[in-house]
Each structure stands twice: as structure tokens, then as C-alpha cells.
Amino acid sequence: MNLFLDTSSLVTLYHEEADTEIMDAVFNFEIVTNIFLSEISKVEFASAFWKKARTGEISTELANQIINIFEQDCETYIFVPVDDSIIKSAKHLIGKYGNKGLRTLDSIQLATASCLRNKVDHFKSGDKVLTSLLAKESLSTNIL
């Protein structure tokens, strides 16, 4: 199975979150061949863990450790570059779904997912708005 993860779902692989059990089940019951990520996930991932450290949810040391582990793991992921076609698609999607709550970075995630339509079996987001928009774009969000 080829899987696309937005950053909120990616975070659950590295830290106990609400969706961690779901992601654990995916990896226990499915053979995941490839994990596709938007290139912006590299920045969003670090930002998510620095926010956790800033708010006291985790220590600075743990944030550093998790970010370092992720950086080592990066070679196992397939990163989709944020090129002109992704930006053009994200702009179109903002026009289409901005009134439904789609924001800048999630529009890039959605545009990336859309460009992977024929390469990915399932698309996972921990964000309710993004999940609903993935479904509106006919991208499979039912992993199990």
C-alpha cells in the first residue's frame, strides 16, 4: 500500500497523539510500501515539535531527539517537491475551498495529495477540515 501523510499524521508516528492508535493499526495490518510526504512536512514537523516544547508538553531535549530521528528517517520517505504546479494547484484549491476553512499550508498538502492521486492508495490527515477536503477531491481517506 502506498500512503500519503500530512504532517499531523506524520507526527503521530513519532509522538503519542490522538491518532497514534490508528496509525499503529495501519502498520500492523497493512504492508506499507511507500510513504509520500509533501516537502513542507520537513518544516512543519520541526515546527510541531518546537511548539510542543514551547508549550511544555515535551522537553527541549525530547524535541531535539525526535526531530533528529525524523531527519534520519527522511531517507525512507518519498518527498514531493513544492514546485510551480503544486503552488498553482494550491492556489486553485484555496479559491475552491477557502470558504470551507482551507488554509495556506493545508492547501499545499491537499495539492500534493491531489498530484499523487494515481500513485497513492490512501491519504491520511489528522486535520478534520483537510480530511473532509481530501474526501471531496475523491481521495481515499479510509485506511482500515
Model pTM score:
0.92
Residue closest to 93 by CA, chosen among 112, 117, 116: 112
Average pLDDT rounded to a whole number, residues 13-26: 82
Q: What pLDDT, on a 0 to 100 scale, did the predictor assign at position 28?
A: 76
Q: pLDDT tens digits, residue range 109-139?
A: 999 999 999 999 999 998 999 999 999 999 9
- For 66-113, the pLDDT digits (tens) are 999 999 999 999 999 999 999 999 999 999 999 999 999 999 999 999
Q: Is 113 exposed, middle or buried (0-12, 13-18, 19+ CB in 10 A)?
A: buried
Residue 26 has pLDDT above 80, yes or no: no
Q: Looking at residue 69, what is its pLDDT?
A: 98
Distance CA 93, CA 97 (A): 6
Q: Strand 78-80 to strand 2-5: parallel, antiparallel, or no bridges (unpaired)?
A: unpaired
pLDDT value at 31 more than 90 = no
- Residue 62 contacts residue 87 (beta carbons within 8 Å): no
Which amino acid, residue 95?
Answer: G
Mean pLDDT of 38-55: 98
- CB neighbours of residue 84 within 10 Å: 8
Q: Hey, what's the torsion of the CAs at 30, 34, 38, 40, to 10 degrees?
A: 90
Looking at residue 45, what is its pLDDT?
98
Burial class (CB in 10 A: 0-12, 13-18, 19+), 3: buried
